[in-house]
Amino acid sequence: MLSDTTGPFAECHSTVNPEVYQKTCMFDTCNCEKSEDCMCAALSSYVRACAAKGVLLTGWRSKSLKYTYNVNSCQPTCRSLSEPDVTCSIKFVPVDGCTCINGTYMDDSGKCVPASSCPCYYKGTPLSSGEVVHDNGVLVSHFSWLFCLSVCVPPMVYVDCGNLDSSSREMFQDTFSLSSLQYKTHCVSGCVCPDDQVLDGKGSCIAPEDCPCIHNGNSYSPGESIRVGCNNCTCRNRKWQCSEEPCLETCSVYGDGHYTTFDGKRFDFEGDCEYVLNYCGQQAMNQGTFRVITENIPCGTTGTTCSKSIKVFLGNYELVLNDGHSDVIQRTPGGKIPFQIRSMGIYLVVDTTVGLILMWDKKTSIFIKLSPSFQGHVCGLCGNYDGNGNNDFTTRSQSVVGSVLEFANSWKVSSSCPNANRTQDPCTANPYRKAWAQKQCSIITSEVFAKCHSQVEPNEYYQACVDDACACDTGGDCECFCTAVAAYAQACNELDICISWRTPSICPLFCDYYNPQGECEWHYKPCGAPCMKTCNNPSGKCLHEMRGCYPQCPKNKPYFDEETMTCVSNCDVVYNTTDGTGWCIVATCGPNGTLQRFFHRCPMSTSTTSPFSTTPSTTTSTGTSFVTLKSVFSCLVKKIFYSTKWIAQILALR
């Protein structure tokens, strides 16, 4: 009906394109339990979009004589007979729906009744037919519609608009809400707050400066802070006051080739080859060059592929992430390691010194974050990061194309790889898996993720989940499903909307595996844990928080050793200094006396011009602490010891 050029919707086709509404209608009707209700809702959304453009559509419903196609204000109510109903004077964009027939009025229960059956309202309270009340010696009955009865809880006071002069009536025109905005209406009789106070939304009166702030439907008291993206926001005087640090943008790849570029362009691509995911070949703000390669490996019999191997080229080093492990290859001698690798929850996180952060779930999900200094200086399947998603399909030859296949095939690493073609719909190829996939993936559109639905559109993630669950037909189907749901949870988490969706029966994480015998340090953190002090990051400062299994280290063992996965009292730190550009360097004494260096972003208050020591100490004229020299010497002694021991073992064998 929506696309029929001679049907009831044809008049609006030139004004509002029905294509998107038709797809939504098909999807909702096929997936909704009450399919007819969902179909009608989808059609109604198109009618309303047309009405907003001035095109009023009629004749597409044939159910009730009470149905109206162009309702543009509220219908008469019983309350409006006793006192002015200011909402009925407000006009809005015409909508279709059921209204009371002429001569009837809607009562408080939503029923349409004749005027004779309406109650009267005395100070805001309905009085049933024949009910009588006494107020200061005045008899008020069903026939007295000019008075209102209201019992106000202190400090609220009652205002009778009928007994106020025009100047006094103006005093009660301001209506306050929990937000920082005010709006004006006509005077309405009832309980109001005193002049110097406002309603808090819970029936109490508070001072305006004590009003909370709202974020994602939650209220926060004055002084409370939240994190929005990479910035901290504090509630002050009903408004959020936020820091203005430039935030890193994210490119994500997960499951059966589902991509979201830095500029928010979503697309699906499946190719059995290595592809350039992200590349910077220019000196962007003197940050340096890098290249991120992803290898697509088949994960189903239908031709579907999953990204399971990542290579990062940075300076003299190549980092290979594959099969849950990481390997570092030094391509040419010399140069310090320009990145730090650490575990955060279920993710392996790579922090680089050039402003590139890579997060890998050790399976099929990759999240790349870039600092704003790279805007417009990158290319590849993650797009050009210029703030415009419309030109993200830029090929290797710098041509902007409309075809996903043409764009993605141009970023093959090897020209000997065949071009990828469109694969068969997984659920069509494996129809026996479709019902299971839809049932499992419906968690994305369920109440579990309800508070995220208004912020992150769930339907695309749901469809991607169904496709992946149908496609993984060679084993690991639950893993494909869990990865798809986790991708939506991560998108919500990026907007500081934490969803605790894992259960013992749905994608559980067995954190108890890491607990020592008889202890209970490890717990699952659905929203990530506060940044921990680790041997690789003794400052305890992080740019992000990842969900997963985390230990609660006791006070006598405050550091987490990522090598042994245990809490320790100290990490044998040799020195802790900065490179002068905002990066902190931590050196620890590693196995066999080797000196291991780790890099992390310095706290904002940390000086970036001179070295510092983690332990108070006397320093030499060059700024190097005696404690540092002692630690270095200790590490050298260990190295000599292990070297001597190794030589002795060889001689013994001979």
Q: How do residues 449-464 score in pLDDT, each as one tens digit?
A: 998 998 899 999 999 9
Q: Distance (Å, rounded) from C-alpha 576 to C-alpha 556?
A: 21
R_g of the chain, CA atoms, integer Å:
33
pLDDT exceeds 70 at position 272: yes
Q: Distance (Å, rounded) from C-alpha 528 to C-alpha 548?
A: 6
- Give the rounded percent of residues in the chain with a pLDDT score beyond 70: 68
Q: Greater confidence, 88 or 219?
A: 219
Instruction: Of 44-58, 60-74, 406-420, 454-468, give the lowest mean pLDDT range.
Output: 60-74
Q: Distance (Å, rounded) from C-alpha 183 to C-alpha 191?
A: 18
Among 546, 550, 584, 545, which residue's Cα sits nearest to residue 565?
A: 550
In this prediction, residues 97-106 reach a mean pLDDT of 78
DSSP state of 397: T
| 91-100, 111-120, 345-354: range with highest mean pLDDT | 345-354
Q: What is the pLDDT of residues 492-516, one digit of tens each?
A: 888 878 888 988 888 887 776 666 6
In this prediction, residues 399-404 reach a mean pLDDT of 93
Q: Distance (Å, rounded) from C-alpha 69 to C-alpha 56?
A: 8
Please work out, in degrees rounded to the nearest 5, the angle formed at the alpha carbon of residue 178 by the alpha carbons of 208 and 194. 40
Q: Distance (Å, rounded) from C-alpha 328 to C-alpha 340?
A: 11
Q: How far is CA 625 from the centre of its chain?
A: 45
Q: Which pLDDT value is given to residue 89?
A: 58
Q: Which pLDDT value is given to residue 218?
A: 78
DSSP state of 604: T
Please classify residue 402 by burial: count the beta carbons closer than 10 Å to its beta carbon, then call 0-12 exposed, 13-18 middle and 19+ buried: exposed
Q: Distance (Å, rounded) from C-alpha 238 to C-alpha 177?
A: 10
In this prediction, residues 561-576 reach a mean pLDDT of 72
Q: Which pLDDT value is given to residue 262?
A: 94
Q: Which pLDDT value is given to residue 631?
A: 44
In this prediction, residues 609-616 reach a mean pLDDT of 30
pLDDT exceeds 80 at position 542: no
- Structure confidence at residue 547 as a pLDDT band (50, 70, 90): low
In this prediction, residues 598-605 reach a mean pLDDT of 58
Could you check whether the bond before residue 611 is cis, i.e. omega within 30 degrees of 0? no
Please classify residue 335 by burial: count the beta carbons closer than 10 Å to its beta carbon, then call 0-12 exposed, 13-18 middle and 19+ buried: exposed
- Structure confidence at residue 246 as a pLDDT band (50, 70, 90): confident
- Structure confidence at residue 595 as a pLDDT band (50, 70, 90): low
In this prediction, residues 269-275 reach a mean pLDDT of 87
Among 312, 315, 370, 363, which residue's Cα sits nearest to residue 341?
A: 312
pLDDT exceeds 90 at position 442: yes
pLDDT, the chain, mean: 75
Q: Which pLDDT value is given to residue 293?
A: 92
| Helix or strand run (H / E) with residue 312 | strand 305-314
Tokens in use for 442? 């419906």
Q: Which pLDDT value is given to residue 568?
A: 84
In this prediction, residues 253-270 reach a mean pLDDT of 90
Burial 237-275 (b: 16+ CB within 10 A, else e): ebebeeeeeeebbbbbbbbbbbbbbbbebebbbbbebbb
Q: Which pLDDT value is given to residue 404?
A: 94
pLDDT exceeds 70 at position 117: yes
Contact 481, 462 (CB under 8 A): no
- Structure confidence at residue 446 as a pLDDT band (50, 70, 90): very high
Q: What is the pLDDT of residues 138-157, one digit of tens each?
A: 444 444 433 334 456 777 77
For β-strands 290-298 and 274-280, DSSP reports them as antiparallel
In this prediction, residues 558-565 reach a mean pLDDT of 77
Instruction: Of 1-5, 70-74, 352-356, 459-463, give the lowest mean pLDDT range.
Output: 70-74
Q: How far is CA 397 from the centre of its chain?
A: 34
Q: Which pLDDT value is given to residue 109?
A: 74
Q: Which pLDDT value is given to residue 379?
A: 93
- Structure confidence at residue 221 as a pLDDT band (50, 70, 90): confident
Residues near 395 by Cβ (< 8 Å), separated by ≥ 6?
401, 406, 407, 410, 411
- Structure confidence at residue 307 as a pLDDT band (50, 70, 90): low
- Structure confidence at residue 622 as a pLDDT band (50, 70, 90): very low
- Give the rounded percent of residues in the chain with a pLDDT score beyond 90: 20
Q: Distance (Å, rounded) from C-alpha 638 to C-alpha 350?
A: 29
Among left, alpha and beta (phi > 0; psi -120 to 50; other), residue 295 is beta
Q: Which pTM does this prediction carry?
A: 0.57
State how far the alpha carbon of 50 is from the alpha carbons of 12, 17, 216, 459, in Å: 6, 10, 29, 23
DSSP secondary structure string, 25-42? HHHHHHH-SSHHHHHHHH
Q: Distance (Å, rounded) from C-alpha 239 to C-alpha 38?
A: 38
